[in-house]
C-alpha cells in the first residue's frame, strides 16, 4: 500500500551524543533527538517514545473516524492524546504501555456507544496492532455534549 521513510544521523555516545531525525517521505520535519530526552526532560528534543505517541494518536484518530462513519455516526471532532511510557525492565529500557485518551463530538451517539466504538477502533488501528504485542494499550473515551 505505502512505505514511509525516516532517518537519523547520530553523533557521539549514548549519554552525551545527539542526533537529528528527518522525516524523509514528507520532508515535514527535522527534529533533534537525544538520550536525555527519553529518560529526563525533553529540553527541546524529541524521542522515539514521543514519535510513537504521535504516530499512535494520529493513526487511532483515523481508525476511530472510520469506525464511527461505518456505524453511521460521522464525528464532528475527535481529540486524541497518547502517552507512551518508557520503563526500565530487567535492566533495560522498554516501552511498557500507551494510554490513549479520546474526547469526541459525535451527534446522535451516547457515551456507551462511543466507548464501544472507541474500543473497536483500537482493535483495528494499525499502530495499536504493532504496539500491542510488546506493550499494554488502554483507551479512555469521553463523548462531549
Grid coordinates standing for 120? Answer: 473497536
Grid coordinates standing for 125? Answer: 488501528
Q: pTM higher than 0.95, yes or no? A: no
Q: Are residues 79 and 133 in the same domain?
A: yes
Q: Is 66 inside a domain boundary?
A: yes
CA–CA gap between residue 52 and residue 83 (Å, rounded): 9
Grid coordinates standing for 10? Answer: 547520530
CA–CA gap between residue 89 and residue 96 (Å, rounded): 9
Q: Are residues 76 and 24 in the same domain?
A: no
pLDDT averaged per 10 residues, the chain (length 145): 93 95 95 91 90 97 98 98 95 94 97 98 96 85 90
Q: What are phi and psi of 117, to 5 degrees?
A: -70, -30
Give the per-residue pLDDT at 21: 96
Q: How many domains does the chain have?
A: 2
Amino acid at each position: 500500500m505505502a512505505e514511509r521513510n525516516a532517518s537519523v544521523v547520530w553523533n557521539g555516545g549514548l549519554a552525551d551524543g545527539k542526533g537529528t531525525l528527518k522525516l524523509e517521505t514528507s520532508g515535514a520535519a527535522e527534529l533533534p533527538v537525544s538520550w536525555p530526552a527519553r529518560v529526563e526532560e525533553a529540553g527541546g528534543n524529541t524521542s522515539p517514545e514521543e514519535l510513537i505517541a504521535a504516530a499512535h494518536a494520529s493513526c487511532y484518530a483515523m481508525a476511530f473516524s472510520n469506525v464511527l462513519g461505518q456505524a453511521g455516526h460521522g464525528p464532528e471532532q475527535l481529540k486524541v492524546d497518547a502517552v507512551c511510557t518508557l520503563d526500565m525492565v530487567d535492566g533495560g529500557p522498554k516501552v511498557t504501555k500507551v494510554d490513549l485518551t479520546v474526547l469526541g463530538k459525535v451527534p446522535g451517539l451516547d457515551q456507551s456507544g462511543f466507548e464501544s466504538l472507541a474500543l473497536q477502533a483500537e482493535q483495528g488501528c494499525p499502530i495499536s496492532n504493532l504496539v500491542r504485542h510488546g506493550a499494554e494499550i488502554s483507551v479512555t473515551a469521553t463523548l462531549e455534549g
